[in-house]
């Protein structure tokens, strides 16, 4: 893959916004079928330009307006905000207090840096295939709950371009939710609680909520390979002391001694599970039981959500198909049928797709005569690059939104006929 050089970003962005950005699909998404008048026109976009120049409250009349502005500004980053009561680019002309955020998708932001206390391979902005499993588990756990526990149909998962994932829940009813209801949903989805100074961040009791139980079942599929092999969470005294801090003190001495005798994390984990059930049988201790191992599994593997991103209606979130200025990777949609196969390191960079386009354009110029030239430019250029499969995932998501919308309209017209 073409190596990404940040110095080339301005030139690459010009080409990307001119020939590769999927404007038609993007507009089709945020216009939501044009059902609500001015829905797209009242949407806030914010652009981050070169040298961290930040412009909020951008808004556009239509697709062509958006295209022109993006090609003129060549933003390093695009964020999407709320749908407001007035056009955001006219917010200064509206009398004080009248300009209000009214609707937005329910969004989730999961960032690998929030797991730094439990991953041993990387820290801060770095990621590798050993810790990416955390994001795989997070998508499975949160997506299952959004779909089955809440009944939300339209969920778009997107790679952030560097070290995390975002989810956009786009159902019509969800976009209207108040901040309080959004907070309630995030609260339901949060199990790991407490800041850096809190050692034990998960507390279960005998009555385990079905959401937690189902989440544990997902984690179980990955736990051995991820936590015991790749992360080796019981490798040495330093690492197992962190885990002993999560179990009752009455078990510490016995575990310290037996951990010394065992040779690897797998053996030590098996021993810990046996010790937990022995402790439960012997003492009828309410701190012991199978939930002891589950608390550890949850603390090490359960998704960590940024609550503020989800609860604020006017909170901005990085747009799909934006480019990450540090890695050059495109924020691409993730196919929910292939979450386990998704590899952030094979996601196209802006250099790789611009290079693919150059190679193709050169070949086509060699072959071309005037008559074919028109046809060539009619096929969207992104289709000739490795961005194509990701746009296809996005289009499938849009298809489902359209079907739902048509279904709702039919229902409404049927109801009206009944009167």
CATH number for the domain that contains residue 112: 3.90.920.10
Q: What is the pLDDT of residue 261?
A: 96
Mean pLDDT of 133-157: 98
* Owner of token pair 């939300």: 152
* pLDDT tens digit sequence for 213-225: 999 999 999 999 9
Task: Assess whether 155 and 212 both reside in one domain.
Answer: no
Q: What is the pLDDT of residue 378?
A: 45
Lowest mean pLDDT among 81-85, 200-204, 205-209, 322-326: 205-209
Q: What is the pLDDT of residue 76?
A: 96
Residue 286 lies in a domain: yes
- Bridge partner list, 107: 168
Residue 229 lies in a domain: yes
Give dist(CA 411, CA 403) in Å, integer.
12
Residue 260 lies in a domain: yes
Task: Assess whether 156 and 111 both reside in one domain.
Answer: yes
Residue 401 lies in a domain: no
State the burial class of residue 374 (Cβ atoms within 10 Å of its Cβ: 0-12, 13-18, 19+).
Answer: exposed
Percent of the chain with pLDDT over 70: 94
Mean pLDDT of the chain: 93
Among 287, 311, 335, the domain-final residue is 311
Which of 331, 253, 235 minimizes the C-alpha distance to 244? 253
Query: In this structure, are residues 256 and 244 in contact, taking their beta carbons and an 8 Å threshold?
Result: yes
Residue in 103, 111, 143, 356 annotated catalytic: 111
Name the token pair of 356: 């693919």
Among 255, 276, 301, the domain-final residue is 301
Mean pLDDT of 91-118: 96
Residue in 44, 67, 103, 293 annotated catalytic: 44
* pLDDT tens digit sequence for 105-132: 999 999 999 999 999 999 999 999 999 9
Task: Assess whether 175 and 214 both reside in one domain.
Answer: no
Task: Assess whether 218 and 292 both reside in one domain.
Answer: yes
109 annotated active-site: yes
Residue 361 DSSP SS3: helix
Residue 268 lies in a domain: yes
* Other beta carbons within 10 Å of 138: 25
Does the pLDDT value for residue 367 go beyond 70? no
Give dist(CA 354, CA 237) in Å, integer.
49
295 annotated active-site: no
* Residue 215: partners with Cβ closer than 8 Å, 6 or more residues away: 141, 145, 191, 298, 302
Residue 227 lies in a domain: yes
Query: In this structure, are residues 128 and 122 in contact, taking their beta carbons and an 8 Å threshold?
Result: yes
Host domain of residue 214:
199-301
* Residue 272: partners with Cβ closer than 8 Å, 6 or more residues away: 234, 243, 247, 255, 293, 296
Mean pLDDT of 133-147: 98
Domain count along the chain: 2
Residue 350 lies in a domain: no
Percent of the chain with pLDDT over 90: 84
Q: How confident is the model at residue 413 (pLDDT cuts 50, 70, 90)?
A: confident
Task: Assess whether 203 and 188 both reside in one domain.
Answer: no
111 annotated active-site: yes
Residue 23 lies in a domain: no
Q: What global pTM score does this model have?
A: 0.94
Residue in 109, 295, 306, 381 annotated catalytic: 109
Task: Assess whether 173 and 254 both reside in one domain.
Answer: no
Give dist(CA 165, CA 113) in Å, integer.
12
Among 311, 329, 357, the domain-final residue is 311
């Amino acid at each position: 893959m073409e190596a990404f050089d940040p110095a080339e970003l301005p030139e690459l962005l010009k080409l990307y916004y001119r020939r590769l950005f999927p404007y038609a699909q993007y507009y089709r998404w945020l216009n939501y079928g044009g059902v609500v008048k001015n829905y797209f026109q009242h949407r806030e976009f914010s652009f981050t330009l070169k040298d961290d120049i930040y412009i909020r409250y951008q808004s556009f009349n239509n697709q062509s307006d958006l295209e022109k502005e993006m090609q003129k500004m060549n933003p390093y980053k695009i964020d999407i905000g709320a749908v407001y009561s007035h056009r955001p680019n006219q917010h200064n002309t509206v009398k004080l207090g009248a300009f209000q955020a009214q609707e937005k998708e329910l969004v989730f932001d999961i960032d690998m840096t929030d797991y730094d206390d439990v991953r041993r391979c990387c820290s801060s902005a770095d990621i590798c295939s050993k810790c990416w499993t955390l994001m795989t588990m997070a998508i499975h756990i949160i997506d299952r709950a959004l779909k089955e526990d809440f009944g939300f149909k339209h969920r778009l998962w997107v790679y952030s371009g560097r070290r995390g994932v975002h989810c956009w829940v786009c159902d019509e009813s969800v976009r209207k939710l108040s901040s309080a209801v959004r907070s309630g949903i995030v609260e339901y989805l949060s199990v790991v609680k407490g800041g850096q100074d809190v050692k034990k961040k998960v507390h279960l009791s005998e009555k385990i909520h079905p959401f937690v139980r189902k989440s544990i079942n997902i984690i179980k599929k990955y736990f051995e390979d991820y936590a015991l092999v790749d992360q080796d969470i019981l490798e040495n005294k330093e690492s197992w002391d962190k885990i002993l801090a999560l179990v009752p003190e009455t078990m510490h001495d016995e575990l310290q001694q037996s951990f010394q005798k065992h040779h690897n994390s797998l053996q030590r984990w098996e021993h810990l599970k046996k010790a937990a059930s022995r402790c439960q049988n012997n003492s009828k201790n309410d701190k012991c039981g199978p939930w002891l191992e589950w608390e550890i599994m949850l603390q090490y593997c359960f998704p960590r959500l940024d609550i503020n991103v989800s609860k604020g209606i006017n909170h901005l979130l990085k747009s799909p198909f934006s480019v990450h200025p540090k890695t050059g990777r495109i924020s691409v949609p993730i196919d929910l049928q292939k979450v386990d196969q998704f590899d952030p390191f094979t996601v196209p960079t802006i250099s790789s797709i611009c290079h693919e386009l150059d190679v193709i354009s050169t070949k086509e110029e060699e072959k071309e005569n005037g008559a074919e030239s028109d046809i060539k430019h009619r096929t969207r250029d992104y289709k000739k690059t490795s961005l194509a499969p990701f746009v296809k995932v996005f289009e499938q998501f849009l298809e489902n939104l359209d079907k739902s919308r048509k279904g709702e309209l039919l229902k409404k017209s049927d109801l009206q006929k009944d009167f």
